[in-house]
Amino acid sequence: MIDFGAWRRQYDDLTYSEQVEFYRAVAEAYPEQIHFNEPAIRTFLDGATGKVLEIGGWKGELAQRVLPDLPEITEWLNVEIAPQAVTESVCLDPRYLVTIPETFIWDSDLDIESFPTVVASHVIEHMKIREVRNLLSRIRADRLYVDAPLPPQPSLWGDGQHSHIIEVGWDGLGSLIESHGFRKVGELEGKWGPAYWFRR
């Protein structure tokens, strides 16, 4: 059994390589991670063109579901941390790519600034707020989608069997996103929590 409580307590001292190994174990223990809000993501992507950056897209299930209906999307890049995202990828669309960078995405040499559309579905809650801030500082997108099972106010995650760790609720997260030049333009409640989308 994975000790998620120990992972949370040690989080600030873990290296990137140690996080990769942790998520390798998570993917082995919990291989099914399909939690996206399909109606919300389809509404968000209506009219999107060019390249899409998906952060933490697991094995490509979301891309597999929506890419066939999005002919104006030229590339969909899934940046993951769990190695199984590559070895067990399910999206066969030729526009879909998946990579595990050599370090955290916000420190990597990936050209994430060139993506006009960014999707973060059920990934933000697995980061600390400083990491979300680092990520937002790299993003130059016009469109941003965030779907996360957060309450309005901060939550104490305790030692539950999950890797949720963010220290803020939606109020704090929304304020941080807006401080980086975005404004909320849509929202839709889903089975696993609310989804919001933003435009610059």
Sheet holding 117-121, edge to edge: 96-99, 73-79, 50-55, 117-121, 143-147, 193-199, 183-190
* Confidence (pLDDT) at 37: 96
Mean pLDDT across the chain: 95
Residue 65 token pair: 């579901």
| Reported pTM | 0.96
- Dihedral (C-alpha) 120, 123, 129, 131: value to the nearest 10 degrees? -80
Q: Return all residues near 146 (Cβ < 8 A) that are at least 6 apart.
A: 120, 121, 124, 173, 177, 195, 196, 197, 198
Residue written as token pair 């990828």: 89
Q: Which domain holds residue 165?
A: 4-199
pLDDT tens readout for residues 19-57: 999 999 999 999 988 889 999 999 999 999 999 999 999
Residue 158 CB neighbours (<10 A): 10
pLDDT tens readout for residues 53-100: 999 999 999 999 999 999 999 999 999 999 999 999 999 999 999 999
Number of domains making up the chain:
1
* Confidence (pLDDT) at 151: 86
CATH code of residue 174: 3.40.50.150
